[in-house]
Structure 1
Amino acid sequence: MRARGGRSEPHGCVSFSRRAWLGARRCGVRLSIVLVILRKELVETLRDRRTFVSLVLLPMLLYPLFALLMSRMAGAEMETLEARASKVAVWGELSPEVSQALASAENKIEVLPWHGAPEPLRRDLEAGSIPPPTPAPHAPPGPPRKNSSTEGADAEAKAGAKNRDADRPDAAVALAARALVDAREAHAVLVPWRGFSEDLREGKAARVTIYYDSVWGDSDFAADRLDYALARARDRLLVSRESEKGLPEGFTSALEVTSRNVAPEERRVGKVLGTLMPMMLILMSLLGGFLRAADMTAGEKERGTMQTLLCAPLLPIEIITGKFLAVFVVSLFTALVNVASLGFTLRRILPGEMDVPFSAHALTFALLIPVTLLFSALFLAVAAFARDFKDAQNLLTPVYLPVMLLSMVTSLPGMELTLATSFVPVLNVALLIKAIYLGDVSPDLVLFTLGSSTLFAALTLVFAARVFEREDVLLGGRGSFRAVFSFERQKGGIPSLGFSLGAFAVILVVMFYASLLVEKTTNKTAQLAFTQLGLFFLPALAAIFVSGASMRETLGLRLPRPRALVGAVLAGLSGGAVVSAFATRLVPVPREFADKLGDALLLDGQPLWVLLVVIAVLPALCEETLFRGLLFSGLSRAGFVVALLASSLLFGLAHGSIYRLLPTFSLGLLLAYARHTTRSLLPGVVVHGLNNALAITVLAVRPAWLEKLLRDDQVPLGVGAAAALVLGLGVYLMREPRE
């Protein structure tokens, strides 16, 4: 050490750095040194296996697989469209030549004469009081020119579709066709105008108009089919006219076909927004959680603060919960900012009549909540395996990229939210956001999407908790995913919370997709029996066996006291009346849905004893084994209130209808209470079976006295109050003192 300028410095340090700086200034940057440093950094990067996988192997595998998936899905969608016949409502009289062309087997067009046409509109069309729309003039050759006419057209386009539809001569026809297509009763409407056949016989140009919805893939495809069929008919007419002498006006066209896109301007804009916005919203919302999860795990390891946190008297579940909530709040705030920014942007660039309503933005934000829940937990769990921040980015990139690619599937033509896609993580939310912008949202599909997304988020949170229970991972060791997923059978007792949720999720997803395949069979009785036994009962028993838990404790295989069974009988006979009297008034059930459900439960006219076995006995045994056996036992580790509410909510969601959610949730509360207080599965089986048996008997027999008692298919409040007293007595009798 030597003193220089009153300071003590290492020998030669300052003079060396000064000489190096002066040399570099005289000689310039030395390229050889730059190349050496470049080589060193590249070698270290390529030596890192995870970096090599993220930079090289992942893109080489992911993009070809994604392209193959997209092409297969697009091809499957096109094959489905081509295999399905197009239902075309014909509002008018066609000539024999055109009718023959439409009826050709290769066109796959199902003609529905005057289907869905309002009676006043039909009279006007037959009388010829509605003039046909004027065909658009042919554009002159050459590039378009900017003049006053095109400026006027642009101004008209910005004015919105509502005013244009009202000003056109066939506005009444277009509005009626739009209503028919929106109701999915027909794919398109074909209007041959008055005098169609006479014009063809006289050699003139007969006018016909196609009304379709470009946003609906089936309708757009039907319009293409009609164009093709009418073109073939035109060719045949021209050939026949060539052999005639005298060529009247209209000879060269034969058929004057015009097409009207009846989709409102809002839906056309929504189609564009629904194709692009879901991907942007999901990716941007998850970006905040991506960075925070890496910093709260690998970043703390790098800074040495994770070890300090683990030395504190804290439980792993407390650590993971706090960090998870922090990542979730950041992701949720990012989602809120993105949705708000999108809303203000659309309000600024879209005309007033095409503005996206506030409710659509609010529902979009609500849909992003389960997505941020899912990936906040997943990012946190995966990033915990990283040794430093750079390693965390390498690990999280393979998780983030599939999310981006999966959300891009919404851009495929014809890709819509269905029962099958409502159980696919990320894709279901993206497709539901697309449906919101299109203004075509099904309440049942909203329920399926939110329910499945929340279930997947809960499973991911359980996975993250298991990761944070391993100190070798949190302290920077080389923990592996295999160790986290390792499973050891327990010895007796009830299943763990994570195992119960995981097994239930697997059973529910398998049940959902298997039931879609079973629906193709015509025997509804066999469908229900297979679903109950093969998808509820046997998988639940298999899961309990695999876990190593006690079958007796998990299912509550004990005989309750006689008074508890009497209470179960009273509750089973009165519970349905209480729910019908009160719950159905809070959430009214549409008459059409109730009639459709009633017809389905009658199983095509099966005898009453068959209905009692399939609708009452089997669900009581099989569903109670799964929901109040496997699921309730595992959830009870988190406390009775959690088990009561969570099992009842999942029981309601499993019935697959928003109109049945509140009644089945209410019944689930009663069944879960019976399971808890009697510590036996039998009272719940009795309540469940009697409730279903009473309902199916009333539905099948429909006694005259009951028809007089019911008011608008609802139980009167007085009867509901009396039934509530009986239910209260039954609940009291089922109550057993806890030991």
Structure 2
Amino acid sequence: MNKKIISALYKKEITDILRDKKTILMMIVVPLILYPLMFLGSMALFSSILSASTSKAYTVALDGVNDPDAMKQYFKDNEEHFKYTFIIKEPEEGETDAALLEAGTIDAYVAESVSDNHPYFEIAYRASETDSQTAAGMVEKMLSKYRDELRSEAFIEQGLDEKAMMNPIGFFMKDYSSNEENVGFLMGYILPFLLIVSILMGALYPAIDTTAGEKERGTLETLLTLPVNNMELITAKFLAVSTIAVAAAILNLLSMGGLTAFMASSMNMLSDNMNVDLVSFIPSMGVTFICILVFALFASAVSLCSCIMAKSFKEAQNLTTPIMLIFLLGGMAGMIPSLELTEKTALIPVVNITLLIASIFKFHFDLSIIAIVLFSNIAYSALAVVIMTRLFSSEDILFADSAASFRIMEKRADIKKGQIPGMGDLVLLFAILLLGLLFIGGLFAGKFGLWGVIMEQLMFLVITVFYGWYIKVDFKKLFHFNGFNIRGLAGSVLAWAGAYLILVLLSALLAAFFPENADNTALYDLWGNNPVWLAVVSSALAPAICEEVMFRGFMLGTLENKYSAVKAVILTGILFGAYHMSLNGLIIIGLLGIVQSYIVNRTKSIYLTMITHFINNLLAVLSVLYEEQFTKALPFLAGDELPTSTMIIMALSGAVLLSLGMWMVGKKEVK
């Protein structure tokens, strides 16, 4: 790459971004003013609401009270103590608490009753009405004081020590956290989320402007005719967007820092015990600044990857909405009490930056964890830049008609027969299936057990087939509904058997590092509490048919039409692994999905992988239901700890069987 060319392109991109004054105003100036106004305004509003709630007079009805005049006088005498004002009302004949509260005539209704010679007060109110809820709380405090006074009088009459009787032991809480640590805890709770939002907002609009905006203005084609390569062009855009994102984040950080300093100085003036040494936060601010730089690179790269596929500003905003939601959810990670920064969470994008900022403001500095977070984000940014370069090099992506990738959006009457779904259709269907698995699938399984699992699989099958029917796909071509020969069947079984042996070893290795991902006791309990045939149908037969139609049918067929065979096979396997939503699923099932996809890609028959999928799941079901017999028959598959020699034999046997099977199914040239 030529540095002079990148520098010239960078200046051009920065100039274009800064030319739009409204964008700069929304990205930088508004948040800079908004945060202080938001904090100070919310504090003023809260103070105003609190003051108004105590100064307002609330109407309270007394019904059935033994001595209403004495109770009225007690309320009046204690108004100054509690700063409450009550208007006492006695209900008329036939007026009920529900009717009065419903009509809004009163805010709370107090009725006295006697049970076992003991008086009880019932406070009726409407929780949906703010005034009613406030009045009920005030009455409760008033009656609590009244009860305490009566109790004290009873102790005095009996000549007893109230303190010794009511509080036989005493205790108090002693907090060893410093004022700086308490302030740091609050800052770590709020600051990461605000920084994530400000960086993302600072990156999104320039990313949209430098990609979709140039497409709308018709200047992108001119850029592509310049004597520069795509890497130089993308690098300039990436650096320009990152610069704006960093600038926006730093200005927002300064704004929030100034607000924090103002609040700290206010607390110092109000109380000597609230002195906060702001100098102690300098190391935390330094690490936060580095985090801002690194995360801005990641946010800019992800934003550009998304926006580069849009043809218009409006479409780019639609494409970036899911990214915003994901980043916002990741930014809220610091608000989850049980979630801590570990070597595992340090690798999760967005979440790792959030937890790191929260951790350093609690004065927890672990250099190894900090390094993992920073370098992982740099690696993710580099990967996103590589993907972005590939996308920018594809005219099909840069100038494709976006509607063609979502054929489901067209009227069915306008769709020609024999269609192949677009990439948008694939993404949409996968998202529908994933959301269905998360929400509806869990509901079915929890409500109907294994029958719910069957219902879930059939629902996904119907959705997939209906999607294909609506867009008039060639079912035989897309879903690979073709016959097979003995050679293909034998090769498929051998390839599956080899992959199974290798993945058993890999699964045991992963279980040692991530034991929680290997646990599936809920499903095992369902198998054990139901007939064997139902366990086999729900967990072996149904997935073998339904999941194969979804993945080796619709998704593989779509990807084969778009990419090379290798890419299509690998991407289908990754989607298959991600569908199972666990680390083991992503790796183990994903690798098995790649083998299954290869078989279908070569043989053009989905029936072969339906068979191997059924065998694979059947083996899993039987190994749980007949654990003792399974262990005796196949100890090398069921044993928790295997000798090194057995592991070597399994690995070699698996490699031989897998190679032989793939050779048998792959000998025929792919069409």
TM range (shorter): 0.5 to 0.7
1:514 aligns with 2:428: no
**In 2: Cα distance, 1:574 partner to 1:617 partner:** 21
Residue number in structure 2 paired with 1:540: 464
Aligned pair partner of 2:584 in 656, 659, 663:
659
**In 2: Cα distance, 1:689 partner to 1:235 partner:** 75
1:491 aligns with 2:406: no
Secondary structure of the equivalent of 2:625?
A: helix
Q: 1:332 to 1:416 in 2, by over 3 A?
A: farther
Secondary structure of the equivalent of 1:491?
A: coil
1:727 aligns with 2:655: no
Residue number in structure 1 paired with 2:68: none
**In 2: Cα distance, 1:576 partner to 1:734 partner:** 17
Alpha-carbon contact 1:279-1:408 (below 8 Å) kept: no
1:350 positional shift: 8.2
1:650 aligns with 2:572: no
Q: 1:576 to 1:562 in 2, by over 3 A?
A: same
1:689 aligns with 2:603: no
Name whichever of 651-660 and 334-343 sits farther off: 334-343
1:623 positional shift: 1.0
**In 1: Cα distance, 2:240 partner to 2:169 partner:** 62
Q: Which amino acid aligns with 1:524?
A: G
Residue number in structure 1 paired with 2:499: 575
1:609 aligns with 2:533: yes
Alpha-carbon contact 1:497-1:638 (below 8 Å) kept: no
1:375 aligns with 2:375: no
Q: Which amino acid aligns with 1:496?
A: G
1:667 positional shift: 0.5
1:639 aligns with 2:570: no
Q: Could you tell me the percent identity over the aligned residues?
A: 16
**In 2: Cα distance, 1:495 partner to 1:483 partner:** 7
**In 1: Cα distance, 2:307 partner to 2:572 partner:** 27
1:269 positional shift: 3.9
**In 1: Cα distance, 2:322 partner to 2:589 partner:** 39
Q: Which amino acid aligns with 1:701?
A: Y
**Any residues of structure 2 matched to 1:83-482 within 5 Å, and which?**
241-247=155-161, 250=164, 256-259=170-173, 269=184, 272-295=187-210, 298=213, 305-306=219-220, 308=222, 327-328=237-238, 330-331=240-241, 372=300, 375-377=303-305, 379=307, 384=312, 407=328, 434=354, 469=399
Q: Which amino acid aligns with 2:495?
A: A
Alpha-carbon contact 1:285-1:338 (below 8 Å) kept: no
Q: Which amino acid aligns with 1:376?
A: L
1:615 positional shift: 1.3
Alpha-carbon contact 1:293-1:383 (below 8 Å) kept: no
Matched residue pairs, number? 469
1:705 aligns with 2:632: yes
Q: 1:364 to 1:602 in 2, by over 3 A?
A: farther
**In 1: Cα distance, 2:538 partner to 2:550 partner:** 17
Residue number in structure 1 paired with 2:78: none
Structure (1/2) with the larger helix percentage: 2
**In 1: Cα distance, 2:549 partner to 2:172 partner:** 61
1:500 aligns with 2:415: no
Q: 1:306 to 1:573 in 2, by over 3 A?
A: closer
Q: 1:250 to 1:625 in 2, by over 3 A?
A: same
**In 1: Cα distance, 2:435 partner to 2:635 partner:** 43
* Structure 2 spans left out of the alignment, 5+ residues: 1-20, 43-143, 261-276, 340-347, 363-368, 370-375
**In 1: Cα distance, 2:604 partner to 2:407 partner:** 35
1:327 positional shift: 4.4
1:244 positional shift: 2.9
Secondary structure of the equivalent of 1:603?
A: helix
**In 2: Cα distance, 1:505 partner to 1:528 partner:** 19
1:673 positional shift: 0.8
**In 1: Cα distance, 2:408 partner to 2:478 partner:** 25
Alpha-carbon contact 1:241-1:251 (below 8 Å) kept: no
**Any residues of structure 2 matched to 1:579-598 within 5 Å, and which?**
579-585=503-509, 588=512, 590-591=514-515, 593-597=517-521
Residue number in structure 1 paired with 2:117: none
Q: Which amino acid aligns with 2:658?
A: L
**In 1: Cα distance, 2:584 partner to 2:291 partner:** 19
TM-score by length of 1: 0.50
1:663 positional shift: 0.8
Alpha-carbon contact 1:496-1:634 (below 8 Å) kept: yes
Q: 1:277 to 1:728 in 2, by over 3 A?
A: same
Alpha-carbon contact 2:445-2:453 (below 8 Å) kept: no
Alpha-carbon contact 2:457-2:547 (below 8 Å) kept: yes
Q: 1:547 to 1:381 in 2, by over 3 A?
A: same
Q: 1:732 to 1:300 in 2, by over 3 A?
A: closer
Alpha-carbon contact 1:416-1:435 (below 8 Å) kept: no
Q: 1:737 to 1:407 in 2, by over 3 A?
A: closer
1:622 aligns with 2:622: no
**In 2: Cα distance, 1:366 partner to 1:714 partner:** 44
**In 2: Cα distance, 1:663 partner to 1:691 partner:** 13
Q: 1:696 to 1:589 in 2, by over 3 A?
A: farther
Alpha-carbon contact 1:560-1:680 (below 8 Å) kept: yes
Q: 1:298 to 1:585 in 2, by over 3 A?
A: closer
Q: Which amino acid aligns with 1:642?
A: K
Alpha-carbon contact 2:441-2:453 (below 8 Å) kept: no
Alpha-carbon contact 1:632-1:672 (below 8 Å) kept: yes
Deviation string 1:379-404 (CA, Å, 9 cap, x unpaired) is: 55668359xxxxx9xx9699899959
1:687 positional shift: 1.8
**In 1: Cα distance, 2:170 partner to 2:513 partner:** 48
**In 2: Cα distance, 1:466 partner to 1:660 partner:** 32
Alpha-carbon contact 1:501-1:634 (below 8 Å) kept: no
Q: Which amino acid aligns with 2:632?
A: W
Aligned pair partner of 1:553 in 469, 477, 499:
477
Secondary structure of the equivalent of 2:172?
A: strand
Alpha-carbon contact 1:301-1:307 (below 8 Å) kept: no
Residue number in structure 1 paired with 2:596: 671
Secondary structure of the equivalent of 2:530?
A: coil
**In 1: Cα distance, 2:654 partner to 2:668 partner:** 25
1:335 positional shift: 6.2
Secondary structure of the equivalent of 2:512?
A: coil
Q: CA RMSD in A?
A: 5.9
Q: 1:666 to 1:372 in 2, by over 3 A?
A: same
Alpha-carbon contact 2:199-2:299 (below 8 Å) kept: no
**In 2: Cα distance, 1:588 partner to 1:411 partner:** 30
**In 2: Cα distance, 1:289 partner to 1:572 partner:** 45
Deviation string 1:131-158 (CA, Å, 9 cap, x unpaired) is: xxxxxxxxxxxxxxxxxxxxxxxxxxxx
Q: 1:719 to 1:493 in 2, by over 3 A?
A: same
Q: 1:330 to 1:623 in 2, by over 3 A?
A: farther
Q: 1:351 to 1:333 in 2, by over 3 A?
A: same
Alpha-carbon contact 2:524-2:624 (below 8 Å) kept: no
1:553 positional shift: 0.4
TM-score by length of 2: 0.55
Residue number in structure 2 paired with 1:562: 486
Alpha-carbon contact 2:479-2:553 (below 8 Å) kept: yes
